[in-house]
């Protein structure tokens, strides 16, 4: 309002201080979503994002549907910013599955990958919760995402490939179309062989990860025997 009225004498750092002080007052009154509105007027894009995300992280526990609608629809905040704040809260509360979901929504691909392969994948493999793990990893598979994730080839990609192959082989083994089964098994042979080598590359730093690696190796061995056995029928 002051700027519109022609008061342009404030230096940039003074304008930022005015915005931050006003936002702090709003937050102290419990009107933190209006503090975000104030901070959206910070001119520098980097400082604006840092200030807004800081407010979100401090107050995300009280973020309800109405406030989220206001932030995203009215103020135009990217949903990724809100999701990142929720991921921070989930981490503090030890909710690793929620954290992974929020990190994927926030497009924090590298951090999401680490949470999935370290905190979720071992238990999912041991408990054979393949569908859930496959759904999470599928969001990281596109090349424009996976090629920027360190360790993808020896971690997330191995888990994803294992579940994909396991699904395909199991589906084929219950098929009654012998001609189709033979063809598909031959087509899958390179993938199964590649898995035999890839399993050994999974980094193992805990007993859970070692057990998960062992389970995958055992499953792959069974798949190889099933494939070879069917091929000689």
- Residue 189 vs residue 159, higher pLDDT: 159
Task: With cut-offs at 50, 70 and 90, classify the pLDDT of residue 86.
Answer: very high
Would you place residue 156 in the very low, low, confident or very high pLDDT band (cuts 50, 70, 90)? very high
Q: Can you say how many angstroms the Cα of residue 54 is from the centroid of all Cα atoms in its chain?
A: 21
Q: Is 0.95 topped by the overall pTM?
A: no
- pLDDT value of position 233: 47
pLDDT of amino acid 130:
92
């Amino acid at each position: 309002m002051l700027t519109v009225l022609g008061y342009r004498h404030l230096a940039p750092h003074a304008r930022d201080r005015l915005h931050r002080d006003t936002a702090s007052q709003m937050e102290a009154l419990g009107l933190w979503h209006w503090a975000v509105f104030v901070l959206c007027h910070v001119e520098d894009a980097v400082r604006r994002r840092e200030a807004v995300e800081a407010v979100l992280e401090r107050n995300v526990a009280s973020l309800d549907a109405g406030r989220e609608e206001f932030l995203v629809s009215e103020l135009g905040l990217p949903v990724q910013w809100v999701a990142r704040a929720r991921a921070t809260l989930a981490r503090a509360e030890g909710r690793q599955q929620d954290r992974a979901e929020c990190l994927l929504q926030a497009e924090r691909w590298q951090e999401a990958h680490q949470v999935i392969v370290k905190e979720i994948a071992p238990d999912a493999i041991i408990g054979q919760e393949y569908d859930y793990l496959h759904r999470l990893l599928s969001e990281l598979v596109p090349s424009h995402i996976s090629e920027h994730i360190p360790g993808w080839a020896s971690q997330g990609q191995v888990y994803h490939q294992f579940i994909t192959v396991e699904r395909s082989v199991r589906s084929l083994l219950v098929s009654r179309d012998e001609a189709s089964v033979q063809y598909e098994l031959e087509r899958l042979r390179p993938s199964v062989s590649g898995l035999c080598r890839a399993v050994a590359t999974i980094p193992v730093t805990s007993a859970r990860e070692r057990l998960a690696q062992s389970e995958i190796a055992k499953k792959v061995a069974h798949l190889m025997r099933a494939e070879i056995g069917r091929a000689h029928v």
